[in-house]
Amino acid sequence: MREIACLSEVASNFDAFFIDQFGVLLDGEKPYQGAAEALTALSDLGKPIILLSNSGKRGEANAHRLLQLGFARSSFQEVLSSGEVAHTQLISAIGMDLPTKPKIWLHARDGDFSAIDGLSVELVEIPQTADLLLLTASNSDTIEMEEYIHLLKPAAQLNIPCWCTNPDTIMLTGQGPKPGAGRIAQEYAAMGGSITFIGKPYAAIYQEAARRIGLENPRVLCIGDSIEHDIAGGSAAGHMSCLVGTGVHAGSTFEALSILAEQAGIPFDYCLPKFKF
């Protein structure tokens, strides 16, 4: 594990970059200072950049938000979100593992229904009446965990399958860190419910990202702020990794992050104080 001051020290060693959004580029509300400029500088190397995000929103919805926040569309190839991967998997499941018009309980943020765009489904408001629960986001800044448990317990007792398309256990908000959708999913599993996680650190999103960059045996650097998601997922996929000291580890020193990684058994290759080229 090595501390570096900026990406330009190692960028030439790689053919492509998978970069997390929240905690690396965004603090939960706005871009980190200099993040847009750093992403543009990295893209000037002419190597594929995919923003790999545990967002339950579809890829283009994420890309649109980044443009509104001042990021250049030319600075990344695309946003590949866990929501995008889940949408593809849902298309395959309908009529096979699910009814031809399944009843879906969808839990999202900001009125986002992109998880079911173009699909023949019936939305239901009561979880235990659904064929599938789609947990695409957390609203734990307005809903207490006890409320989630009360809401979801009847569905868990019926073992209604739940897809969690944002495995992050911590969500960055303007009020500070809050329980993420992954944390709600953990509670659902603890109550006996069946959970499928889609996103980092699970393999499908990395396999899809590799397919989309279209390179043979590329040297990829995965950059993120979460040891358990970004570093673990990137390493399991066979890529090198870079942990940033912002997001969930804001204020931590390189020494402290190294100890955390060693204790978790998930070493990173590089560590940046912040996303900087």
User: For residues 190-200, b (16+ Cβ closer than 10 Å) or e, as one string?
Assistant: eeebebebbbb
Q: Evaluate whether 137 touches 166 at the Cβ level (below 8 Å).
A: yes
Q: Which regions of the chain are under pLDDT 70?
A: none
The CATH topology of domain 2-54+206-272 is Rossmann fold (3.40.50)
Q: What is the pLDDT of residues 192-246, one digit of tens each?
A: 999 999 999 999 999 999 999 999 999 999 999 999 999 999 999 999 999 999 9
Report whether the peptide linkage leading into residue 201 is cis, meaning its omega lies within 30 degrees of zero: yes
The CATH topology of domain 93-197 is Rossmann fold (3.40.50)
- Can you give the pLDDT at residue 150? 97
Q: Which of 160, 51, 181 is nearest to 112 (CA)?
A: 181
Q: How far is CA 47 from the centre of its chain?
A: 22
For residues 272 and 11, give the distance between their C-alpha atoms in angstroms, rounded to a whole number.
Answer: 13
- Can you give the pLDDT at residue 253? 94
Q: What is the pLDDT of residues 83-104, one digit of tens each?
A: 999 999 999 999 999 999 999 9
- Can you give the pLDDT at residue 89? 92
Residue intervals in the chain for CATH 3.40.50.1000: 2-54+206-272, 93-197
